[in-house]
Amino acid sequence: MAIPLGLWSSGKRAILVGILVTVILVATAGNIGLTSGEPASIAASQTYNGWFNRLVFGPHGVLNRSVIDASWSVSNEYPPFDKILSGVVWGLTNDLLSDLLAHRLGNMLLFGVAAAFLYHMIADELGDWSAIGTLAALLTMPRFFFHAHLAALDVPAASMIVIVTYVFWRTKESARFRYTILLGLVWGLAIATKINAVFVLPTLFLWALVFRRKFYLLLRLALGTLIGLTVFCGVWPWLYYDTIARVEAFLAFQTASHWEIPQYYLHKIFLLTPWHFPFVMMAAVVPLGTFIISGLGALRGFLRRRDRAFVFLLAFNMLVPLLLVASGQTRVYDNERLFMPAFPFLAALAGGGFGWIVKSAGAFFVRFRIPKFLTPIVVFAVACVVWIPPILSMITFAPYWLSYYSETVGGLPGAANLGLETTYWCESYREAVLYINANAKPGDTIWAPPSTVDVLVYYQMQGILRKDVVLASSTTLESVFGSEAIGNGAIADYTEADFVLIQHREALLYDQAGQPTLVLAWASARTPAFRVQRAGTPILDVYTNP
């Protein structure tokens, strides 16, 4: 069944898709609270933007070591490209938008570009209905949709991997060297976004060995690696001095010395999760209908020779992020966050499955002389069955999409019974702040786990949290925003503070023996004064001390 789109080419439609996706993200961003993954990126993006302003308007001395060290030491544990982009967009829009939306807008624009490229690639290879199905799947995966709003690195990394894959696919039939330079450039920017993008070129190399054993293509991937590493260093001024030592320190942090983030999984606390963790989590957080038709999309690659190479390209890119986590080599977890690059390619497989259903239905109706007007009805019915349930769930859970679980595990209550984590990343603090603003007395102290206090610091800096309340911590209060932002901090623990915030992130509420931590034991003997919940399951509790 063809779509009567007239003179609109897939490229023009892709541009509209990019604009539409960005508009949807901006329109739905207002109630999404700051997450604990964002403050460091926000602080870095502001500092980097200040350095670029100096480079443009007063470049004298800007490359001196003292200036670079002062400007680029913030959040230097992670590459800078996304923070540079976010900082530039923030600098251009912070007078027009709220500070948080201005910081997030750069990532929304980047994802809009990636969505346009993905749509264009799918439309050209698998057809318009498959491209539309891909877009529908992408925007109705609640967890991915949530992350696409944030001033964090995970969806930008996924976006850059999509762009690298698009460039590789669109140029694979040409031996021109300029395409090698282009591929190296975009891959360099991808690894300068987040280091897990380093695996996309080996993935493409594997695909080329299986499906396109052409010397120039293999050489392109090899030379693209060298070009990309040069770009990686070039866009990161922090590496301009003591380059070898700083690269070694960066790689050591990414591998051996990164702080540990435990994972609650199947009622246990893991520092190294079992191999099946990413596959179970993927099935648990992707809507069931999308998950099923993504399987049909993969089957399309096995049964249709014409589509095989392209479908396997999508499948390889979807599987590699999962396999990396399944290898058990990471001690850093946040549920689905680490394999975020798999989601766009799973959505593309789902789009391929949807397009195959539409095409098969049209062929069936023609063969058996069934009236053609029934084909759109079938298309509409399939779309409703697949995507209406997650849309309803997104409406029900908004804006707490990090607590969404699919029908596969019985939603959030079923996930809790199974022993999966209720939430993470503190986005629910925003609602707690509104409660505190309405009920706190001047000078009241607010306690939250020390690793999450920066969220409250940002709210207080922006005037969202009242400035006459005091942020308390069980350790010396530190913030990526600098000492001037936390001048009213105090030392106190949860037994002394006037308000205590506890999000239901089980990995931080139980020890490795499965016993409740002291703060959870303390909270269990009390009734919360305020609760955020969805589907009858608590996400955040606020307690008060008499």
| Span 264-283, pLDDT tens digits | 999 999 999 999 999 999 99
**Over residues 344-369, mean pLDDT:** 88
**Over residues 273-296, mean pLDDT:** 97
- Whole-number mean pLDDT of the chain? 92
Q: Say whether pLDDT at 485 is over 60.
A: no
CB count, 10 Å around CB of 65? Answer: 10
| Span 92-103, pLDDT tens digits | 999 999 999 999
CA angle at residue 105 from 37 to 148, to 5 degrees? 55
> What is the C-alpha separation between 204 and 220, in angstroms, rounded?
11
Task: Give the pLDDT band (50/70/90) at residue 520.
Answer: very high
Higher pLDDT, 315 or 261: 315
13-17, 84-88, 319-323, 471-475 — which is least confidently predicted?
471-475
Task: Give the pLDDT band (50/70/90) at residue 490.
Answer: low
Identify each DSSP E strand in 198-312 by its residue range. Answer: 263-265, 268-270
Task: Give the pLDDT band (50/70/90) at residue 298.
Answer: very high
Which pLDDT belongs to residue 488? 55
Higher pLDDT, 530 or 252: 530
**DSSP track, 351-411:** HHHHHHHHHHHHHHHHHTT--TTHHHHHHHHHHHHHHHHHHHHHHHHTT-GGG---GGGTH
Q: Say whether pLDDT at 6 is over 80.
A: no
CA-closest candidate to residue 194, choices 148, 245, 235, 154: 154
Which pLDDT belongs to residue 364? 73
H or E element, residue 501: strand 499-503
145-159, 213-227, 236-250, 371-385 — which is least confidently predicted?
371-385
| Span 443-461, pLDDT tens digits | 999 999 988 999 999 999 9
Which pLDDT belongs to residue 316? 97
For a pLDDT cut of 90, what percent of the chain falls above it?
80
Task: Give the pLDDT band (50/70/90) at residue 8.
Answer: low
Helix axes 99-126, 81-93, angle to 10 degrees: 120
Higher pLDDT, 37 or 373: 37
Chain centre to alpha carbon of residue 91: 23
Task: Name the amino acid, one letter, at 161.
Answer: I
- Total residues found in the chain within this entry: 546
Q: Say whether pLDDT at 399 is over 90.
A: yes
8-17, 31-40, 494-503 — which is least confidently predicted?
8-17
Helix axes 177-191, 154-171, angle to 10 degrees: 170
> What is the C-alpha separation between 144 and 340, in angstroms, rounded?
7
Q: Say whether pLDDT at 376 is over 90.
A: no
State the pTM of this model. 0.95
Question: Cβ distance 290 to 347 under 8 Å?
Answer: yes
| Span 46-68, pLDDT tens digits | 999 999 999 988 888 899 999 99
Q: Say whether pLDDT at 7 is over 50.
A: no
Q: Say whether pLDDT at 263 is over 90.
A: yes
**Over residues 252-264, mean pLDDT:** 83
